[in-house]
A and B are shown apart, each in its own frame.
Chain A
Amino acid sequence: EVQLVESGGGLVQPGGSLRLSCAVSGFTFSTYSMNWVRQAPGKGLEWVSYVSTSSSTIYYADSVKGRFTISRDNAKKSLYLQMNSLRAEDTAVYYCARTDAFDMWGQGTMVTVSS
């Protein structure tokens, strides 16, 4: 069974940092590109970042460029999102999603940026 499990969310003050993780199982992680997608409370979906299988290609949404860093560890079957300089508007559920089709999603982890 394919599983993606996010962790690392929580409450952080504006300007603070968090590192999200996504642990996967049930498929060969190293052969799939991965993404982070977020959803603010009561709002729609917003793509955040993409990483290719070997990490050679990385893309970011303009809203997070320069503040967030996506990475992956194929040996650990894990995807990461380092989030720095957090703002109130970064408050959202963060999902990891598989491939450029987002064909599989995790359950999400909530990030709240508030003082």
Chain B
Amino acid sequence: QAVLTQPSSLSASPGTSASLTCTLRSGFDVGTYRIYWYQQKPGSPPQYLLRYKSDSDKHQGSGVPSRFFGSKDASANAGILVISGLQSEDEADYYCMIWHNSASVFGTGTKVTVL
């Protein structure tokens, strides 16, 4: 089982909100981690979106619109990337990441399709 599990795909309509989950494997407490999010479009390198640990420990990437924001669901042991006001240009792969024991771990990735 992967340390960070993401749904393989998600489809949503323009103008709606999409919530992408990053579920941590049992034994990994989401409350203790900074979760990083990246967007990758075909043929391009990933781009850093944001970091979220708590409302007092978060960072927005340079030039990243505020309609991208992070949160957590402690009951689900998951980090969440919310994209509000979905646009066609948001169609991409999205990855979460944490640092654990001096190693970086990426999530399995979610392909977002804007219908």
Give A contacts to B, CB under 8 Å.
35, 37, 44-47, 50, 59, 61-62, 95, 100-108
Which of the four size classes fits the interface of chain B? 20 to 34
Q: Cα distance A44–B36 when bound, in Å? A: 15
CB <8 Å contact, A102 and B97 = yes
Contact of A102 among B38, B59, B62, B108 (CB under 8 A): B38
Q: Is B16 an interface residue (CB 8 A)?
A: no
Q: Is B13 an interface residue (CB 8 A)?
A: no
Contact of A59 among B51, B59, B102, B107 (CB under 8 A): B102
Which residues from chain A contact B62 at a C-beta distance below 8 Å?
Answer: 103
CB <8 Å contact, B95 and A45 = yes
**Those of B51-90 within 8 Å (CB) of chain A:** 51, 59, 61-62
Q: Give the number of A-B contacts (CB < 8 Å).
A: 52
Give B contacts to A, CB under 8 Å.
36, 38, 40, 45-48, 51, 59, 61-62, 95, 97, 99, 102-109
Closest chain B CB from A68 CB (angstroms): 14
Contact of A61 among B40, B51, B103, B109 (CB under 8 A): B103
Q: Cα distance A37–B64 when bound, in Å? A: 22
Contact of B48 among A44, A50, A103, A107 (CB under 8 A): A103
CB <8 Å contact, B45 and A108 = yes
Q: Given that A102-B46, A103-B61 are contacting pairs, would A44 and B103 also be in contact in the complex, using a CB cutoff of 8 Å?
A: no
Q: Cα distance A104–B62 when bound, in Å? A: 10
